[in-house]
Amino acid sequence: MNGLAALAFIVLFSQCAGKTDNQTTSTPAQANAELSGMKIAYVEIDTLLAKYNFCIDLNEAMVKKSENVRMTLNQKATSLNKEKQDFQKKVENNAFLSQDRAQQEYNRLVKLEQDLQELSNKLQNGLMEENNKNSLQFRDSINAFLKEYNKTHGYSLIFSNTGFDNLLYADSTFNITKEIVDGLNARYSPVKK
C-alpha cells in the first residue's frame, strides 16, 4: 500500500512540476530594477551593545545585582554549612539530650536548606525578570530612535547584523552603526545615582 501511495505522489508531483502556465518568473534584471529604489542599511549589534551607553549602564547594573545575589546566597550557604557541621559533631559526640531533640535540630536544618533554595530561586527569577525588562527597554530605545532617525534618512530596510548570523556579506557603505551609536548616545542621559 505504501508503494502505491509513493508512486501516486511521484506522478502527482511530476504533473504539477511540468505545468508552467500562468506563472510569472522574474529575471535577475527585473529583481534588481525592483530593488533599485530601495535604500538599505545595516547595524552591527555587537558594536551597538559594546558602545551604547544605555546598554553599558544596564549591563553594569545587572552585574552588580548578580554579584549581590551571589554574595548573599554564598553567605547564607556558608552559615548553613557551618550549622550542619556543628550538628554532625554534636551527633558524633552524643551531645543531644535525646533522640527527639536531635531530630528537631535536624528538621530545623532541613527547613533552613529548603528556605535557602527557595530564596535562591526567588532571587534568580528576579534577576531573569529584570534582565527581560532591560532587554525590552533596550529594544524600545533603539526602535524609537530608528523611527525618528529614519524620518530624515528614508531607509526602506535597516537590518541587524550579529557576527555572521544574519548577513553573510554587505558592502561597508551600508553600515550605519556608528551613526546609530552616536545618535543613541547623544540622546541618552544616564539616571543619577
Q: Which residues have a Cβ under 8 Å from the Cβ of 57 and sit 6 or more positions away?
A: 190, 191
For residue 143, is it within any domain?
yes
Residue owning grid cell 536544618: 109
Asked whether residue 25 is assigned to any structural domain, the reply reads no
How many domains would you assign to the chain? 1
| Sequence letter at residue 84 | K
Q: Which domain holds residue 136?
A: 39-165+172-185
pLDDT at 35: 59
**Considering the domain boundaries, does residue 103 fall inside one?**
yes
Residue 87, in any domain of the structure: yes
Q: Looking at the domain assignment, is residue 136 inside a domain?
A: yes
- Looking at residue 162, its pLDDT comes to 82
Query: Residue 151's pLDDT is what?
Result: 93
pTM of the model: 0.68
Residue 23 lies in a domain: no
Q: Is residue 28 part of a domain?
A: no
User: What rounded mean pLDDT belongs to the chain?
Assistant: 83
The low-confidence residues of the chain, meaning pLDDT below 70, are 1-36, 164, 192-193
In this structure, is residue 112 part of a structural domain? yes
Q: Residue 109 and residue 191: Cα distance in Å, rounded?
A: 43
Please give the pLDDT value at position 38: 86
